[in-house]
């Protein structure tokens, strides 16, 4: 990563951390903020120099915590970790965009064609391969990795605000961006990050379907369109089909049965239908064409 990219990553982490600090002070109280800040400073000191007094300071800060203090401390650092991950994910996206523009990524359309050409394959070979191909990413979940959808939504909202700042100067105005970020971080602070009840299969289903809705239903058609255009093959058949184990994988999970399988299929079906209905509705609003001004084929 370049020095400029490092600087931008650090600046975003500092920005999100500063807003979180203000929220903790306002919502959790000055005492909690001071304790979190003291633990942070002692941790940094120990990380930089294990021979420093940082370890002793940490032990003193953490040895006599009440239950409420321990929960507040853990919640504060967990929220910061989630926000720092947003900045790191955005830095990774920027790095990937630069590599794509420079033609340096082998995992892109052009990179794949270049590797095929090195192996003596033509674009016609690629068309034939994809016409007969079935690529099926299978989504699954691990109980230790399943986050609450409300937390995922808050993190996505923070990321969307920062993404909008990249595209639009108005969205990046300090008062607009800071106000939006503060609102989302206040909600995140007031949101339970862990479940108060045991995880059930339906929780895993909802989490996986949320990624299907936010990512795959948008990216898979874009990929197909890109390949059709690049290979000049408008009739290229869809070759990506998303699969999922959640709700139907009976390998050792006694809670997976016919009902969970039905629920998984119904939940995914609702998400897909809702997505395409929203797309059709948006398309209807966008295509304000008049039959007297635009030629419309009889088929359409």
Measured in whole angstroms, the distance separating CA 165 from the mean position of its chain's CA atoms is 17
In order of 3, 291, 298, the CA distances from 15 in angstroms are 18, 51, 56
CA distance 22 to 28: 10
CA distance 92 to 153: 20
pTM of the model: 0.72
* 3-class state of residue 135 by DSSP: strand
Tens-of-pLDDT digits for all 300 residues of the chain? 566 667 889 999 999 999 999 999 999 999 999 999 999 999 998 888 888 887 888 889 898 889 999 999 999 999 999 999 999 999 998 888 887 777 667 778 888 898 899 999 999 999 999 999 999 988 887 655 557 778 988 999 999 999 988 887 776 777 889 999 999 999 999 999 887 777 788 888 888 888 888 889 999 999 999 999 999 999 999 999 988 888 887 676 788 888 999 999 999 999 999 999 999 999 988 888 887 888 888 887
* 3-class state of residue 146 by DSSP: coil
Cβ atoms 267, 205 nearer than 8 A: yes
CA distance 196 to 199: 9
Structure tokens of 70? 């321990």
| In the chain, where the domains are located | 107-146+199-285
């Amino acid at each position: 990563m370049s020095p400029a990219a490092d600087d931008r990553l650090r600046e975003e982490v500092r920005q999100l951390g500063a807003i979180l600090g203000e929220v903790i002070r306002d919502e959790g109280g000055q005492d909690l903020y001071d304790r979190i800040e003291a633990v942070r400073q002692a941790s940094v000191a120990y990380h930089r120099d294990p021979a420093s007094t940082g370890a002793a300071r940490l032990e003193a800060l953490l040895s006599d915590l009440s239950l409420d203090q321990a929960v507040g401390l853990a919640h504060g650092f967990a929220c910061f970790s989630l926000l720092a991950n947003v900045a790191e994910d955005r830095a990774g996206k920027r790095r990937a965009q630069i590599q794509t523009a420079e033609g340096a990524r082998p995992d892109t359309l052009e990179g794949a064609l270049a590797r095929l050409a090195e192996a003596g394959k033509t674009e016609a070979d690629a068309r034939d391969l994809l016409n007969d191909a079935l690529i099926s990413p299978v989504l699954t979940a691990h109980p230790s990795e399943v986050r609450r959808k409300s937390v995922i939504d808050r993190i996505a909202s923070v990321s969307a605000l920062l993404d909008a700042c990249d595209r639009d100067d108005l969205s990046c105005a300090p008062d607009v961006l800071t106000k939006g970020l503060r609102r989302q971080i206040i909600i995140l602070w007031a949101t339970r990050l862990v479940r108060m009840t045991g995880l059930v299969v339906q929780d895993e289903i909802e989490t996986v379907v949320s990624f299907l809705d936010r990512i795959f239903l948008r990216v898979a058609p874009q990929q197909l369109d890109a390949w059709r255009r690049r290979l000049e093959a408008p009739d290229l058949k869809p070759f990506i089909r998303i699969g999922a184990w959640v709700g139907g994988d009976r390998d050792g999970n006694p809670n997976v049965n016919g009902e969970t399988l039905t629920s998984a299929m119904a939940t995914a079906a609702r998400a897909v239908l809702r997505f395409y209905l929203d797309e059709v509705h948006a398309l209807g609003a966008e295509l304000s064409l008049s039959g007297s001004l635009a030629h419309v084929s009889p088929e359409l």
